[in-house]
Amino acid sequence: MIAEIDISLIDWSRAQFALTAFYHWLFVPLTLGLGIIQAVMETIYYKTGDEFWKKTAKFWMKLFGINFAIGVATGLILEFEFGTNWSNYSWFVGDIFGAPLAIEGVVAFFMEATFIAVMFFGWNKVSKGFHLASTWLTIVGATMSAFWILVANGWMQYPTGMNFNPDVVRNEMESFWKVAFSPVALNKFIHTVLSGWVIGAMFVAGISSWYLLKKREIKFALSSIKVAVVFGLIACFFSIWTGDGSASQVAEKQPMKLAAMEGLYEGGEGVNLVGVGILNPGKEEYNDDKDAFLFKIDVPIPKLLSYLSFGKFNAYIPGIKNILDGGYPLKDGNVALSAKEKIEKGKIAVSALADYHKAKADSILYERKADSIKIALTAEINNCETAISEGDTIISQIVTADELFANKKAEITDKIADSRRLLFENFDYFGYGYIKEPKDLIPPVALTFYAFRVMIILGSFLLLLFALSTYLVYKNKFETKRWLQWICLISIFFAIFAGQAGWVVAEVGRQPWAIQDILPTSAAVSNLSTAAVQLTFFIFLALFTILLIAELKIMINAIKKGPQINEQ
């Protein structure tokens, strides 16, 4: 038994989850993107009857299959890790969080599992139409599963549609639609799936470019690129579009994350968007006077951050220091509380919950005691045969006892009501009760800041690359542009990197919260020894890494072998 949850347990538990999520997101986006591309190719085959497109689709499906299993495996671990490593979390919000996970299983995973078998093994066993439908249903299933898990993730960033039930000490769902269709969840789903499509498109364009560089499989490569670049261009454009949407949601719901993304300590009205910059590693405290940056260049459009966040060039954006110090005007007209005040209120809420439970337990205890005393007195009066005066004394005793109990009961009932009221008055800050000091509310600024830059810069670069490639492909000039083929090949890694960076912004940027403002990671963990979590971490690390290397080797082998289409 551990007397106190220590920091290293929280950090290692986070590391274990991050590791699994990191590996999961190496494989899943490729599944999402490649799934659509191969389905489009098979549709062309279905419409034209051209065997070339069947073979092309089948080649990409082969790579899809190599990639698929390990995404499934890491996904299983993620689901169970909520229970194994985040036990308190599972109870505290399981009533809301479990639902999307169950729905994911029932409506999405089974669809994926059923039709992927037909897609792989059914070519000569079912009709062309049934096969095509299966290919589409596989990717529809995969995409629906992304929807439900992102609903779950969106809810953690922006909890909504629930109520706290102090009797069972957990949050309970009050509106399914608010949870499933919260704007944050929808935006997150679209942005994330589109980023997967970008990665899939880049993968197909990059591998095809490799064939062009090798002067092999020319027709196959050019045909694949034609599908991929258009798809990638559209996906990339809308991914950036929805990215802006998620930034403005962050500004509203998670101001601390936005401040970290921008390295913004001292906010104000009409804030610029940082283009590139190097943070000052010498800045040790959020409230010291040192400059946050060694060097930075803002995006040349002035006041852009304010505009992107709130649609107004002069909108006020709080920095890290402002958020912790409070005192600035909020959108709803109130004045922001300081971190200290929030922590104070959080502690009031937590101790009110304790008082509530104590009062409820007392109430049961008194009730029992009162009952037993009354029974004893009644028994005495029934046995009382001696003097009437004695009986009268007992009766008066009962009356006094009744009064006493009534008073006591009223007192306890008041206590229950008072603590309940106090709890709910302060519940918005419940999670802050577990925060030791204000600076614990700051996420790792450097990691969030740089990851955000990496995502935006790579995303913009990919948009340009897709646009240029589309233009050249349809002008029939792509085949001769070897430099561009090299860039396409290398950009597979850029696309994957951009996706990972996006998740770092989303997840590191919301620390210390497991559920925004309601439950910090320190109150969400399981009661495990740090050593056990460390051991699991390294087992997973070794296993995933070996499997990743094996996957890459198999994939490279299959690519080298090529689609083996007889081209005339």
Partner 1 sequence: MDATYTFLQHYWWLLVSLLGALLVFLLFVQGGQSLLFTIGKNQKQQKMLLNSTGRKWEFTFTTLVTFGGAFFASFPLFYSTSFGGAYWVWILILLCFVLQAVSYEYQAKHGNLLGKKTYQIFLLINGILGPVLLGAAVGTFFNGANFVVEKQNLTNLANPVISSWTSAWRGVEAAFVIWNVLLGLAVLFLSRVLALLYFVNNINDDEIQKKSRKQLIIETVLFLVFFLTFFVHLLIQDGFAVNPDTGEVYKETCKYLHNFLQMPAVLAVLLLGVVGVLFGIGKTILSAAWKKGIWFAGTGTVLTVLALLLCAGWNNTAYYPSLQNIQHSLTISNSCSSLFTLKTMAYVSILIPLVLAYIVYAWRALDIHKITGKEMEENEHTY
Tell which positions 356-395 bind partner 1, by CB under 8 A. 357
Site for partner 1 in 229-258 (CB under 8 A): none
| Of 46-54, 255-263, 447-455, 548-556: span binding partner 1 (CB under 8 A) | 548-556
Q: Which stretch binds partner 1 (CB under 8 A): 61-69, 257-265, 326-334, 490-498?
A: 61-69
Which of helix, strand or coil describes residue 161?
coil
Burial of 342 (0-12, 13-18, 19+ CB in 10 A): buried
Nearer to partner 1, 378 or 545 (CB): 545
If one asks whether residue 73 binds partner 1 (CB under 8 A), the answer comes out as: yes
- CA–CA separation, 309 vs 246, rounded Å? 9
Does 551 contact partner 1 by CB under 8 A?
Answer: yes
With CB under 8 A as the rule, give the number of residues binding partner 1: 99
Closest CB to partner 1 among residues 99, 235: 99
Q: Which of residues 103-162 bind partner 1 (CB under 8 A)?
A: 103-107, 109-118, 120-126, 130, 134
DSSP 361-421: HHHHHHHHHHHHHHHHHHHHHHH--S-HHHHHHHHHHHHHHHHHHHHHHHHHHHHHHHHHH
Applying CB under 8 A, does 62 fall inside the site for partner 1? yes
Contact status: 66 vs partner 1 (CB under 8 A): yes
- Residues linked to residue 163 through DSSP beta bridges, in sequence order: 172
CA angle 72, 75, 79 (to 5 degrees): 140
Query: Could you write out the DSSP letters of every residue in 272-309?
Result: PPEEEEEE-TT--STTSSS-SEEEEEE-SSTTHHHHHH
Q: How far apart are CA 17 and CA 156, in angstroms?
A: 15
556 binds partner 1 (CB under 8 A): yes
* Choices 64-72, 226-234, 441-449, 493-501 (CB under 8 A): range interacting with partner 1: 64-72
| 94 touches partner 1 by CB under 8 A | yes
Q: Which is nearer to partner 1, 208 or 419 (CB)?
A: 419
513, 522 contact by CB (below 8 A): no
Return the residues of window 426-465 that contact partner 1 according to CB under 8 A: 433-434
Q: Is 89 exposed, middle or buried (0-12, 13-18, 19+ CB in 10 A)?
A: buried
Is 88 near partner 1 (CB under 8 A)? Answer: yes
The answer to whether 242 and 197 have CB atoms below 8 angstroms apart is no
Indicate the residue among 92 and 316 with the shorter CB distance to partner 1: 92
Work out which of 36, 40, 96, 508 binds partner 1, going by CB under 8 A.
96
Among 15, 22, 84, 366, binds partner 1 (CB under 8 A): 84
546 binds partner 1 (CB under 8 A): yes
- Residues 6+ away with beta carbon under 8 Å from 266: 319, 321, 322
Our finding on whether 97 is near partner 1 (CB under 8 A) is yes
**Interaction residues for partner 1, span 151-170 (CB under 8 A):** 165, 168-170
